[in-house]
């Protein structure tokens, strides 16, 4: 079944009341992060009837706080976890060549060879990069998509990362990995593609009293509740999984990133990858990002206790990141250079003692005594594989009638071969618009009914007015925060956010 990809307030109202009045459905998915939307897409494309409910907004949780990397799995190889390393490389290739080539690009990562890096560490990185090339080949991803690793000289290293420390710089090691234009945009694209294939996607609807065959849903906007029956109920609520199903035990770990104006790093083209002093195989990354920014991450800290809606970075994490990056820079950065910061909680499986950095990133599907199927752990990179696994399990356990998984070759909304992206490009489209919407970019302008659709929302912010309108008309944004903090990431910098709040309000009043 093919439906419109547009998510908006009118569709939400219609589908919410149809769900309240309707017959039981095959599958209810709780949580609109990357895991939940991936499951909804897998289910819908196999012919199952599916409704996904999200308490806040798409990508409200951990899925918008990631490093935005589609990892090749090198890190897991180093810890001997060959299965997950290989799978990550395969999933990266699928995303970059078939599912979402418009949202994932090859990011150069540069490890500067400075005197502070001893010979064994250099050999380890060289070996790791060569192994990464091997993984890429094994996964069938061509070098035209992800170039081979190599050594570069100091001059080239400075061109790619102009503020790298020059004193004693003996060139750099360079490798490539997948980088998302933005994680929350991937979540929205997967959700809209699921809707295109008939899934019901409802934001601001919270689930409670989940059992194997039913859930109470509460519209967060009206406070009204009703019960829904399903043949299977999947808990994909990430770090909140234990609140939805008390039999689930997680060990959240916090990861923090700092946000800089790209000028503070000399407008780099490559990500600076800096070994953490005293650690093996752990690095901090300063990555060039959209909107003229650099994100510097990341930490890995135990985060016990109640789960906040929006986790906050600590001063210690900020200091650690600045101290580490400064070991490789010519001009030291300080707290005044930081223009924003964000933290997210990894939904790690509780494996007892040990550092959270060493806890496996494998996912697990568990059936609780109440019959709820919970999916826990995992990585954004592997969402498609995780979804396939969850639906295979649900089909087997509940005897559902479904076809085989179809997502390997399925283009998401905005990928060139998705049929909705058929409008011809006007000659001059802003490159930032294409980077965020892919082949759908012309639709964003064509669908706009606002004044001055191609004008920027504010001076110095590379987002046009038509994007705000599209967020509301097609991408399910219901509030100013949805537009500023998830459909666009303007809100990561408070000063930028202040400049455009009123513009966003204008679009919600239409």
Q: Please report, as ranges, the residues that interact with ligand FAD according to CB under 6 A.
A: 30-36, 53-56, 60-63, 65-69, 71, 206-207, 236-240, 244, 255, 298, 344-347, 378-381
Rounded-to-integer distance, Cα 38 and Cα 29, Å: 10
CB of 153 to ligand FAD, least distance (A): 29
Partner residues linked to 216 by β-bridges:
208, 227
Nearer to ligand FAD, 343 or 448 (CB): 343
Rounded-to-integer distance, Cα 192 and Cα 477, Å: 12
CB of 491 to ligand FAD, least distance (A): 16
Nearer to ligand FAD, 69 or 113 (CB): 69
Q: Quickly list DSSP for 425-437.
A: PPS---HHHHHHH
Nearer to ligand FAD, 68 or 436 (CB): 68
Nearer to ligand FAD, 299 or 443 (CB): 299
CB of 63 to ligand FAD, least distance (A): 3
Q: Quickly list DSSP for 159-220.
A: HHSTTB--TT---EEEEEEEEES-HHHHHHHHHHHHHHTT-EEEESEEEES--SSEEEEEET
155: helix, strand or coil: helix
Counting Cβ atoms within 10 Å, is residue 3 exposed (0-12), middle (13-18) or buried (19+)?
middle
Nearer to ligand FAD, 107 or 157 (CB): 107
CB of 18 to ligand FAD, least distance (A): 19
CB of 353 to ligand FAD, least distance (A): 21
Nearer to ligand FAD, 232 or 448 (CB): 232
Relative to beta strand 50-54, strand 200-203 is parallel
Nearer to ligand FAD, 240 or 437 (CB): 240
Q: Which two tokens stand for residue 477?
A: 């944004």
Rounded-to-integer distance, Cα 238 and Cα 253, Å: 12
Nearer to ligand FAD, 210 or 500 (CB): 210
CB of 181 to ligand FAD, least distance (A): 13
Rounded-to-integer distance, Cα 362 and Cα 348, Å: 9
Partner residues linked to 286 by β-bridges:
272, 296
238: helix, strand or coil: helix
Nearer to ligand FAD, 362 or 467 (CB): 362
CB of 201 to ligand FAD, least distance (A): 12
Q: What is the dihedral of CA 466, 467, 471, 474, to 10 degrees?
A: 60
Nearer to ligand FAD, 60 or 470 (CB): 60
10: helix, strand or coil: helix
Nearer to ligand FAD, 112 or 238 (CB): 238
CB of 298 to ligand FAD, least distance (A): 5
Rounded-to-integer distance, Cα 51 and Cα 49, Å: 7
Residue 212 and residue 61 in contact, taking contact as beta carbons nearer than 8 Å? no
CB of 74 to ligand FAD, least distance (A): 12
CB of 258 to ligand FAD, least distance (A): 12
CB of 85 to ligand FAD, least distance (A): 13
Nearer to ligand FAD, 5 or 356 (CB): 356
CB closest to ligand FAD, residue no: 33
Neighbours of 286 (CB within 10 A): 30
The angle that helices 383-398 and 34-45 make with each other, rounded to 10 degrees, is 60
Number of H helices, E strands in the chain: 15, 20
Rounded-to-integer distance, Cα 288 and Cα 440, Å: 24
CB of 423 to ligand FAD, least distance (A): 31
Partner residues linked to 285 by β-bridges:
273, 297
Rounded-to-integer distance, Cα 237 and Cα 242, Å: 9
Rounded-to-integer distance, Cα 15 and Cα 274, Å: 49
Rounded-to-integer distance, Cα 29 and Cα 49, Å: 11
Counting Cβ atoms within 10 Å, is residue 285 exposed (0-12), middle (13-18) or buried (19+)?
buried
């Amino acid at each position: 079944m093919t439906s419109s990809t547009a998510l908006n307030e009118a569709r939400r109202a219609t589908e919410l009341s149809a769900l309240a009045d309707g017959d039981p459905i095959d599958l209810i998915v709780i949580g609109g992060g990357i895991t939940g939307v991936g499951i909804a897409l897998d289910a819908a494309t196999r012919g199952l009837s599916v409704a996904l409910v999200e308490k806040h907004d798409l990508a409200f949780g951990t899925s918008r706080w990631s490093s935005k990397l589609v990892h090749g799995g090198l890190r897991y190889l180093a810890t001997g976890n060959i299965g997950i390393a290989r799978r990550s490389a395969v999933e990266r290739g699928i995303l970059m060549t078939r599912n979402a080539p418009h949202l994932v690009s090859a990011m150069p990562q540069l490890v500067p060879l400075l005197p502070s890096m001893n010979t064994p560490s250099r050999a380890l990185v060289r070996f790791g990069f060569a192994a990464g090339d091997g993984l890429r080949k094994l996964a069938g991803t061509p070098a035209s998509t992800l170039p081979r690793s190599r050594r570069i000289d100091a001059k080239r290293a400075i061109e790619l990362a102009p503020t790298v420390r020059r004193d004693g710089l003996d060139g750099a090691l360079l490798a490539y990995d997948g980088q998302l234009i933005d994680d929350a945009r991937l979540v929205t694209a997967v959700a809209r593609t699921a809707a295109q294939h008939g899934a019901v996607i409802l934001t601001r609807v919270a689930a409670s009293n989940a059992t194997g065959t039913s859930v109470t849903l509460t519209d967060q906007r009206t406070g009204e509740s009703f019960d829904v029956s399903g043949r299977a109920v999947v808990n994909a609520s990430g770090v909140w999984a234990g609140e939805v199903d008390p039999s689930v035990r997680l060990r959240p770990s916090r990861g923090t990133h700092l946000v800089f104006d790209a000028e503070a790093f000399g407008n780099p083209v490559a990500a600076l990858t800096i070994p953490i002093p005293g650690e093996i195989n752990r690095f901090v990354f300063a990555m060039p990002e959209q909107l003229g920014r650099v994100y510097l991450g990341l930490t890995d800290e135990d985060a016990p206790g109640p789960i906040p809606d929006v986790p906050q970075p600590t001063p210690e994490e900020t200091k650690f990141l600045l101290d580490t990056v400064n070991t490789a820079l010519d001009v030291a950065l300080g707290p005044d250079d930081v223009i924003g910061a964000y933290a997210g909680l990894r939904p790690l499986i509780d494996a007892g003692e040990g550092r959270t950095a060493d806890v496996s990133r494998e996912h697990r599907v568990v059936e609780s005594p109440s019959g709820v199927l919970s999916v826990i752990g995992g990585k954004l990179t592997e969402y498609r594989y995780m979804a396939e696994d969850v639906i295979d399990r649900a089909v087997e356990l509940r005897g559902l009638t479904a076809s085989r998984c179809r997502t390997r070759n399925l283009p998401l909304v905005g990928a060139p071969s998705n049929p909705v992206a058929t409008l011809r490009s006007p000659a001059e489209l802003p490159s930032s618009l294409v980077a965020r919407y892919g082949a759908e970019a012309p639709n964003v302008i064509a669908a706009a009914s606002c004044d001055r659709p191609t004008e920027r929302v504010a001076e110095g912010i590379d987002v046009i007015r038509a994007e705000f309108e599209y967020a509301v008309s097609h991408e399910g944004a219901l509030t100013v925060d949805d537009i500023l903090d998830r459909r666009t990431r303007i809100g990561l910098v408070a000063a930028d956010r202040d400049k455009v709040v009123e513009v966003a309000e204008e679009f919600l009043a239409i």
